[in-house]
A and B are shown apart, each in its own frame.
Chain A
Amino acid sequence: MRQRPQQALLNATAEVAAVEDQQHLLLQRLQITALPSHETHLLPLDAINIAANASLLRSARGLVKSIERVGVLQPPSVVCLPKIAGEETRYEVIAGRRRLLAARICMLPVLKCEVYTHCTPQLASFLALIENAQRSGAWMKEVEDLRRLIDEQVGMTIDDLAACGFERNALSERLKIAQLPLPILNQIVAGKLSLETARKIAHLRESQQDTLADIARTETLTLDLVKQTLRQQVQSGLTPLQVTFTDLAAAWNPASDSPPSAAPLPASEETTLAHTLQSLQALTTSLAYQNLERTTRLLTETLIQKLTLAIREQEGEPLLVEASLVSL
């Protein structure tokens, strides 16, 4: 039944009252009496206090190229600090430290900022959270925009975009997602798939992506379904490997495959080998050995190991590692 205008107004008033209660509670929690007003101003960067550490500075450098080309597209938020007599007004950052640091590196003299008249630490954190939340879906927008660039045949390469300051690895990942079949992409852009799910789909083979695309025409893809498909793909790659060593077991025939040197030696030659090994091992414990040049010592150690292996293969006896070898 269609709602009559007066009834609609009454309902709207109730909803407004509910929202006002919620806001009042929020303000209490943030220890402010009212949300501060804010205006957009062009501020000198020198006037803004930016607390930064080495890691933030490194991160800010990643924005420099894009700022040099297209500027800062989203104004940082700052709060006006209490004015000290005789000094210029100063500001403190609420959100956007990376952008401000990057702008400073680019030696921009001024920057457009959202200036709040006052702020509390709680409100500052809250505003930063809101800003991040507003940006959390940014990856979907990036994917959508990348797809548009591809469809419009703009012809930019990853190198071109990296030169504008985009991080190459993240860009490659977004690009893979942007090239997914349209039914899947539509679900991504509509916010039905998480970034994790989109990443996993991007790792699937084309045939499996097509299968998922067919499903996506009629139902929303789930992470479980994607994981299952990915697992099947990995397993199909492992199966030949697992078959290979089964074949190894079946094909092993020492009589036909052994190299000639594996044939049993006459006892006298075995004795010679063992004697040679003992002599070399005795050499390594002598004082003279320590004075030999490094190449000779390394050659001796290598020869000891080779002889040990040869004797082991001949006799089928377990190798006993000499203490001197272990300590080298």
Chain B
Amino acid sequence: MTTTPLWKAIPVPRGCGERQAGGVYAECGVGPYGQPLERFLLDPPVPMPPELDVVNKPQIWPRVLPSGEQACDAERQPLSDLLIHIGAEHYPYVPDYLEETRRYGVSRRLNPNLDLSLLTTQSRMLLAHPKAIPLNWREMRVPKECRKNLPRHDQRSHAQRGPDPNQHTDRLGPSNLCLFKLWELLPRELAQAEIDLGDELPLCLRELGSTRYEYCPTGEQVEGWQCAFVLSVPITGFALIQDAEGQVNERAKRALNRAYEERGEQALPFYETPC
């Protein structure tokens, strides 16, 4: 039997609804000694290889080093990662998903037929969204704040270099695309409430699932989007959702127990829960 995860995602109604009985969910939980969400954000987002199709199909991919070799753990066991596509039908924009994750952790439903034994404590969950990179980002204003404090990503950083960040010639180039621009690109009409701040941009309030968050739209228009990975988190465990009789997906449970027998402490823990 595996151990129970130390850290679990918080089981609240999410943008994609509530967890389904019989489902198997990969989690990155919330807990003590954790790190802020910014630690795990990919800024700038990493474009998804166009040949990769993970829409509605989470996939496990081997981790390959730049040399072309398969990455392995200390016991020479190959490492794999879980690739997941965040659908825009439940999370229309990247901030919708990231703000929920910030509050409640990650919980993503998996096909129980995936070989879950390939995932270990060193595996990562890589999450992509179809609206991660605005195609015309080079024509846009630099965002007000980059919460990862990356150099030359936000107006504060550029202000340290010169008087007008929007006319700074060296803002061009892929390394200057900032993930946090996506909050400023949320449409104003997406807000459920708006607070007028006088001369400043309005403060918009958005509600999605159990998440409430604020944003200040600049009104800039996006001419198209590119799908890219925005988040890379460790997997803290799996949640097996019980049905009315308290039963879980037995096949998945057996696979996870088998993984523990094969991998020992490297295997991912799981727990059974009604929700």
Contacts and interface: CB of A to CB of B under 8 A. Distances in A.
A234 B192 contact: no
Contact of A241 (B35, B51, B229): B229
Nearest to B42: A244
A302 B51 contact: no
A14 interface: no
A177 to B, nearest CB: 15
Interface stretch (A17-25, A68-76, A314-322): A314-322
A302 B205 contact: yes
B66 A237 contact: no
Contacts of B39: 248, 252
A243 interface: yes
B49 A305 contact: no
A316 B36 CA distance: 10
A245 B125 CA distance: 10
Interface string B20-47: 0000000000111111100110100011
Contacts of A236: 49
Nearest to B83: A238
B10 A302 contact: no
Interface in B183-218: 192-195, 205, 207, 210-214
Nearest to A308: B103
Given A245-B124, A299-B195, A318-B30, A239 B232 contact: no
Contact of B64 (A242, A317, A328): A242
B13 A326 contact: yes
A242 B193 contact: no
Interface in B127-171: 147-149
B210 A328 contact: yes
Contacts of B71: 242
A237 B32 contact: no
A140 B143 CA distance: 50
A326 B213 contact: no
A244 B41 CA distance: 11
A309 interface: yes
Contact of B61 (A230, A235, A298): A235
B126 interface: yes
Interface string A291-309: 0001100110110111011
7 contacts: A203-B50, A237-B49, A248-B39, A259-B147, A294-B193, A299-B205, A302-B212
Given A248-B40, A299-B195, A308-B103, 18 more contacts: A203-B50, A233-B49, A236-B49, A237-B49, A238-B83, A239-B65, A241-B42, A241-B232, A242-B124, A242-B126, A248-B232, A257-B148, A259-B149, A302-B205, A304-B212, A319-B30, A321-B10, A321-B12
